[in-house]
Structures are given as C-alpha cells and as structure tokens.
Structure 1
Amino acid sequence: MGTIDISFLSLGIGLLLSFIPLYYLWKFKTGLVKATAIAIIRMIVQLFFVGMYLKYLFLWDNPWINILWVVVMIFVASHTALARTRLKRSVLMIPIVIGFLFSVITIGVFFLGIVLQIDNIFDAQYFIPIFGILMGNMLSSNVIALNTYYSGLQREQQLYYYLLGNGASQKEARAPFIGQAMIKAFSPLIANMAVMGLVALPGTMIGQILGGSSPNVAIKYQMMIVVINFTASMLCLMITITLSSNSTFNKFGVMKPVFKEEK
C-alpha cells in the first residue's frame, strides 16, 4: 500500500489550521503576524516549486544534473548562512563554501557507498534526499555556531587577550569560544537525540513508514540520518571556523573587523 495522496481541497482545508497560531500571535500583539503569514506563503510557493523540479530530477536521473543540483544548493546554502549572520561576506563566503562542499560530499558518499552500498551513488532516489538533508542541518548549526563564535570573541576580548598574554597560542586562546559555539549549536540536536523515539517519532522514520517501509527498516535509516547529520554538521563547522579564523586574525592574534556595519 502506497502513501495516501492529499487532494488540493484537503490541503487547503488543512492549511486553515495555521490561522490558530496566527490568531494568538495577533491577540497578544507579538508583531509576528505579518512575518508569519509571509513565511507560510513562501513555504507553500517554494515547496510547490521544489516538487516541480524534483519531479524532473527524478525523471531524468542524470548523474551530472544531480551533481550540478548539489553544487547549486551548496552555494545557495552558503549565501543563506551568511544572510542570517551579521558577518561580512568577504570574510566567510569561501570558508563556508569549502566547509559545505567537503562535508556534504565526504559524509554523503560514505553513507551511500559504504553504508547503503548502492551500485550507483548518484541515483536520484537516494542522492538528492540524503544530500538535501545534510545541507539543511549543516546550515542551521553553522549559522548558530558562527554567530556565537564571533560574537563571543568580540564581547569577551579581554579574556581572549588575557589567554594570549599568558602564553596561549592563538588556537588555544580561541578554543573556549569554539567550545561555546559548539554548545550553542549542538545542544538542541543532542537533546533531541537523547529522547528520540520516546517523546516523538522523528520525521524521516514517519515518512518511510507512511511510504510503506517496515518499522525495522525505518529505524535503521533514522539512526544513520541522525549520525550523518551530526557528523557532517560538526565537520563543516570545524572547517569553516578554521579557515575563517586564518583570515580574520593577523599574525599577532588581533581579530580584524568581521561584522557588517549597521546602517
């Protein structure tokens, strides 16, 4: 038995539920009604477009087109990550692109080729969803971590220079700030991991069960999805922070201006 389709009429009726949170946002004068309404509309339009082009990607199932899609998505994700931070594009664009590119390819190919052992790792059925999941999770964790890392260095300059003045190398002086960035970025993921399957069933598992997979198959996929997301996000973060730090600190350990000037 396949997944039950949702008619456009049923979808429209279901979307009416969004008026409940919108009402409470309006009632308590949060100022978020307009932003939420725009976000919902954007989500609907964007997902319809995604559905349209994914249909053709799956239909063509061409390795070169699939690779091109991943490359484009990496640049889009990098641009989005920068847009969500207060950091200068000139400082972080190249480190973020390299971090995304290396992490998503390394972990994605490892999962598809070694764990799943599929003959064609560029098969659209596996290649596109797995690489898409990886990029989505890497994006959110990197945005949080980079903001935390550079904001911490700016806010606690005295601590940073104190560590340098007491004989610490630049890497050693920056280590506490990297640790704080990791805590901020990965604490929610670790918390969700700890209660996964007890408090709620994760999305990947639900999707596979609805698609007809047995629960035993679904839980194995879910375990691996969590692990590869965690690993790829951590790898991407370390590459991005390492490369960006090399360009944002001079030989004396002084941080160059990295934040956008507020207008």
Structure 2
Amino acid sequence: MTVDLSIASLLWMYALILVPVAIFFYLQLGIIRDTLFALIRMTAQLFLVGFYLKYVFQLNNPLVSLLWVALMLVVANLSILNKAGLKRSVFFWRLLAGVAGSTLLAGGWFILVVIRPEPIYDARYMVPIIGMILGNCLRSNVLSLERFYSGIRKNENEFTTYLMLGANLHEAVRPYLRDAIKAAVNPSVATMATMGIVSLPGMMTGQILGGAMPMEAIKYQIGIMICIFTAMVVAALVNIQLSLSVAFDDHQRLQQDIFQ
C-alpha cells in the first residue's frame, strides 16, 4: 500500500519550489510568474483529472473511456502545434491523424495483445497506458516538427540547390527529415540505455509503491517503453510526411504563412 499524502505533506512539497524560484530571481530570468502559474495550473488540472478518473474507473464504460482518450488526443495535438509554432488551421487534422494513429496502434497492441485485461476495455489500463504513450509522443513531435521546419528555413539555399539539381520534394527534405527524427528519438534512446541504473522509470516506481512485485513492475515497464518508443518514431515520421502537402506550394517552396 502507498503512503497517503496529507495536505501538510503537500504543502511541504510546495515549499521546495522556493529553491528554483530563488535561483530564477537571482539570475533575473523573468520566468518566476510563468513557473508559479504552471505550478498552479498543474495542481488544478491534476486534481480535476483525479476526480474525473475516479468516476471513469468506477463506471468502466468503454464509451466514456474512449471519449476521455479522444479529449487527450485533441489537447495533445493542440499543444504540439503551439509548441512547434505551426498554425492550427493548416495542420490540425493531419497531425491529429498521425498522433492518434501511432498512439492507438502502440497502445492497442500493448492492451489487446500483450496484457489482455478482463474486460479488454478496462479503463484502469486503457486510460493510463494511452496517456503515457501520448505524453511521450507529444514531446517527440514537438522536437521533430520544430527541428524539421527550422532546418529547412535556416538552410533555404541548400534546400533550393537540392531542388535545382533535380531532386523531388521528398528527396530534398530527406536530410532535414533524418535530422528531425534523430533529434526526436535521441533522448529516449539515452533514457532506455541508462534505465534501471541511472533512473527508475515512473511506471515501474508507481507499481512498486502500489505494492506490485519488482519483477512484475519491470516487465510492464519494458513493455510500455517499447510501445512508447515505437509510437514516438512512427508519429514523428508520419506527421512530417503528412504535413508536406500543405507546407509547400506547387513549386516546392516552403510557405511562410503556415507558421504562427
């Protein structure tokens, strides 16, 4: 059983935030307000989600669970577009298809093929697993899209030269695509290489704190990491490919009005 945190315990945790706030103040970084706002927003969102998920798990209704997953996908997609600096009106549906497809593919494989809970739509498995995969896809897509389009914009002459030498659009963007995918997956490769020695991952730690045996938690963690990594790579590649048709005009020129 996990130790229940009292209100006093939470207040002690909030006191710890004074350390980075003091550092920000000393260095005059100008991000104290944003940090405190993010902390308050995180707290409010997590408590609201906690109350909602309590009833989602109690109902254990597949339609309710799928609606929650759909909401997560939409919010994640909007966050990707905002952080990557791309216009929602241009990319929303294309990127939503890529994120949803890769997340549901990996999550569905883990739930339907690997763990096979009873019932198969058990919200206690569906919602957290999809959430973990989606959270990592969000970060990788922001990195890949931002690196891809910033690379082309910074090396416009090089990109144009590829086209002038006879390359088609897909051939011309390949160097920037490769760089973007590597940027998106390198942090996860480093994390997997040191997992268990340098750090204990969140899912494994949570299960152990919840009373699961370490070997059982380890097997779950290995499975979810493989699913996360697969979804990240697929989403990064698919979303860049899906975005090409609206990002470039008929003459293979990058359209500047697609950026925020």
- Mapped partners of 1:35, 1:255: distance in 2: 33
Contact 2:247 2:258 in 1 (8 A): no
Q: Deviations over 1:32-89 (max 9, x none)?
A: 2111111111111111111111111111110001011111111111111112122122
Deviation at 1:206, TM superposition (A): 0.7
Corresponding residue SS for 1:200: coil
Corresponding residue SS for 2:5: coil
- Mapped partners of 2:14, 2:237: distance in 1: 40
Q: Is residue 235 from structure 1 mapped to residue 223 from structure 2 by the alignment?
A: no
Deviation at 1:107, TM superposition (A): 1.1
Specify the alignment match of 2:71 in structure 1: 72
Q: Is residue 210 from structure 1 mapped to residue 195 from structure 2 by the alignment?
A: no
Specify the alignment match of 1:120 in structure 2: 119
Q: Is residue 54 from structure 1 mapped to residue 53 from structure 2 by the alignment?
A: yes
Specify the alignment match of 1:168 in structure 2: 167
- Mapped partners of 1:121, 1:96: distance in 2: 28
Q: Which amino acid aligns with 2:241?
A: T
- Mapped partners of 1:99, 1:249: distance in 2: 19
- Mapped partners of 2:54, 2:257: distance in 1: 41
Q: Deviations over 1:88-121 (max 9, x none)?
A: 2222111111011211211111110111122433
- Mapped partners of 1:134, 1:170: distance in 2: 31
- Mapped partners of 1:251, 1:29: distance in 2: 47
Specify the alignment match of 2:25 in structure 1: 26
Deviation at 1:167, TM superposition (A): 2.5
Specify the alignment match of 2:9 in structure 1: 10
Structure 1 runs (4+) greater than 4 angstroms displaced: none
Deviation at 1:259, TM superposition (A): 4.0
Contact 2:110 2:224 in 1 (8 A): no
Q: Is residue 135 from structure 1 mapped to residue 129 from structure 2 by the alignment?
A: no
TM-score normalised by L of structure 2: 0.95
Specify the alignment match of 1:110 in structure 2: 109
- Mapped partners of 1:93, 1:120: distance in 2: 33
Specify the alignment match of 2:152 in structure 1: 153
Deviation at 1:168, TM superposition (A): 2.0
Q: Which amino acid aligns with 1:237?
A: A
Specify the alignment match of 1:260 in structure 2: 259
Corresponding residue SS for 2:17: helix
TM-score normalised by L of structure 1: 0.94
Contact 2:145 2:240 in 1 (8 A): yes
- Identity percentage of aligned residues: 38
Deviation at 1:251, TM superposition (A): 3.6
Specify the alignment match of 2:218 in structure 1: 219
How many residues get paired?
A: 260
Deviation at 1:29, TM superposition (A): 1.5
Specify the alignment match of 1:188 in structure 2: 187
- Mapped partners of 2:17, 2:232: distance in 1: 31
Gaps of 5+ in 1: none
Contact 1:95 1:239 in 2 (8 A): no
Specify the alignment match of 2:200 in structure 1: 201
**Inter-CA distance 254–28: structure 2 relative to 1 (3 Å threshold):** closer
RMSD (Å), alpha carbons: 1.4
Contact 1:149 1:178 in 2 (8 A): yes
Q: Which amino acid aligns with 1:20?
A: V
- Mapped partners of 2:118, 2:257: distance in 1: 45
Gaps of 5+ in 2: none
Contact 1:91 1:258 in 2 (8 A): no
Contact 1:109 1:121 in 2 (8 A): no
Deviation at 1:258, TM superposition (A): 4.4
**Inter-CA distance 260–251: structure 2 relative to 1 (3 Å threshold):** closer
Contact 1:209 1:218 in 2 (8 A): yes
